[in-house]
Amino acid sequence: MDQPRVTVTLHRPGEAEPLSRKGDAGLAKMLGLDAEGGEKVSTFAAFLDTGASGISISTQTADALGIRRAEVNGSQVEFHDVGVGGADLFHVSEPLILSIGAYQALGMSPDAASFKPAGGPWHAQIGPVGGGGLLGMMIGGIDVVGMPVMAGKIVIIDARPVNTFSDTLRVQLIDPRRENPQLPQTHRHIAMSYGDFAPFTRVEPASATKPVLIANPFIGRAPTLPENVTRDRDITIRHNGRASRGAWLLDTGAAASMISKQQAANLGIRYKTNPDGSDSTELEGVPREKQFTLTIGGIGGQKTAAGFFLDEMRIPTAEGDDLVYKPAPVLVVDISVEHPQTGQKITLDGVFGMNFLVASAHITGGLAPDIGKMAEGPYDWIVIDHTRGVLGLSLRKELLSR
């Protein structure tokens, strides 16, 4: 029902004033802001996305703020990134310094003093150049701040407000080197490892500077780590008497969770094949009435995937008692990366999305999706501690008594 968001301001190195765009005076008046509120806007809302290795600024936001594109010999630098829909082309920004504040509706915040430095100067991704497909046309671009702003910090998410289905998550980004916050009590702790996917991206020309990229957190052994690293913290899934284990990307930018086709095959589940040899949107091994489909989008565009309910999903904790979800809804999707020089290919075992962390609902696909079967989330607080590589969870009172 929600994903963590923050409000962002951008500065050029050596400049005190943030980049700004002309505001909407009519909208400012409607919101009860003063006349100057419609003259200049320097903030914008962005998803705080652990599944993003970099910082992605939409073309619309970049153009509105006057962000310059990096060039080599008079030509704009091109960056090729990978995501849920495949590969996408981006441009690369000039160096920028980021500050982060609490999420505000419409990306407006009256309190500039509440913003904290988040890092830089960094080169960000701008795009995707093709506009982001249908999703981009519908909503005008998506801005994402990923692991560069979170590395070495603690993310605190108050999940309680979204349980009313009419409010948003409350998010704090804490730098323990500068702050000494009182963290919420957490009852279960999950070890994370980190996977570096920068080698699977490329920039043109090759001599150009890549945008900033930082490793992403996994529950279990990240797929880019050596084979001799233990897999005893992997997630275990079960269905129809079969089991499979794997490392799942912890992705706060994913509304839904996913497993790979191989993980599904380990459970005896596969996509049916169309007459032309392509995958259909129906699964074999699960009764049709117990399947669902959802269109998911991200880098590389959109795709429609089929899903089903696992009999059980188990996540090891430091306390020694697994977190158990039953049943557990997952889509079957391959998210793969390929090394541009060696040809090495990696497919993620799974993606652990926000539907397992906060209030969720059953959503049908389409341009006007139907939302039903809403359920409150299992946790009051979610603490993603990138200083220790630990996901901390504060269970709701009724779950603690079980």
Q: What are 168-212's pLDDT values in tens digits?
A: 899 999 999 988 888 999 999 999 999 999 999 999 999 999 999
Residues 195, 137, single domain; the answer is no
Taking the mean position of all CA atoms in its chain, how far away is CA 4?
A: 9
Q: Is the residue at 377 inside a domain?
A: yes
Question: Which of 21-30, 125-134, 230-239, 279-288 has the highest average model confidence (pLDDT)?
Answer: 230-239
Q: Is the residue at 181 inside a domain?
A: no
The lowest-confidence range among 87-91, 254-258, 348-352 is 87-91
Number of separate domains in the chain: 2
Q: What is the pLDDT of residue 79?
A: 95
- Which of 129, 153, 177 terminates a domain? The answer is 153
In whole angstroms, what is the distance from residue 249 CA to residue 220 CA? 9
Residues 389, 292, single domain; the answer is yes
**Token pair for residue 229?**
């690293």
My answer on whether omega of the bond before 176 falls inside 30° of 0, hence cis, is no
Residues 368, 262, single domain; the answer is yes
**CA-based nearest residue to 93, from 17, 11, 162:** 11
Q: Is the residue at 183 inside a domain?
A: no
- CATH number for the domain spanning 41: value is 2.40.70.10
Mean predicted lDDT score pLDDT of the chain: 87
Residues 80, 197, single domain; the answer is no
Beta strand pairing call for 5-11 and 96-102: antiparallel
Q: Is the residue at 175 inside a domain?
A: no
Residues 147, 196, single domain; the answer is no
Q: Give me the percent of the chain exceeding a pLDDT of 70.
A: 85
Q: Is the pLDDT of residue 279 over 90?
A: no
In which domain, by residue range, is 62 found? Answer: 5-153
- What confidence category does residue 40 fall into, taking pLDDT thresholds of 50, 70 and 90? confident
* Structure-model confidence comparison of residues 184 and 371, the more confident one: 184
* Structure-model confidence comparison of residues 192 and 104, the more confident one: 192
Check if the beta carbon of residue 90 is closer than 8 Å to that of residue 303. no
Residues 204, 339, single domain; the answer is yes
- Which of 126, 153, 180 terminates a domain? The answer is 153
The lowest-confidence range among 11-25, 217-231, 247-261 is 11-25
- What confidence category does residue 399 fall into, taking pLDDT thresholds of 50, 70 and 90? confident
Residues 249, 137, single domain; the answer is no
**CA-based nearest residue to 120, from 80, 148, 147:** 148
Give the total residue count for the chain.
402
Q: Is the residue at 330 inside a domain?
A: yes
- Which of 124, 153, 182 terminates a domain? The answer is 153
* Structure-model confidence comparison of residues 116 and 217, the more confident one: 217
- What confidence category does residue 229 fall into, taking pLDDT thresholds of 50, 70 and 90? confident
Residues 252, 318, single domain; the answer is yes
Q: Is the residue at 148 inside a domain?
A: yes
Residues 148, 234, single domain; the answer is no
Residues 304, 236, single domain; the answer is yes
Q: What is the pLDDT of residue 242?
A: 97
Q: Give me the percent of the chain exceeding a pLDDT of 90.
A: 65
Q: Is the residue at 161 inside a domain?
A: no
Q: Is the residue at 180 inside a domain?
A: no
Q: What is the pLDDT of residue 131?
A: 62
Residues 253, 116, single domain; the answer is no
Residues 242, 133, single domain; the answer is no
Considering the entire predicted model, what is its pTM?
Answer: 0.89
Q: What is the pLDDT of residue 402?
A: 63
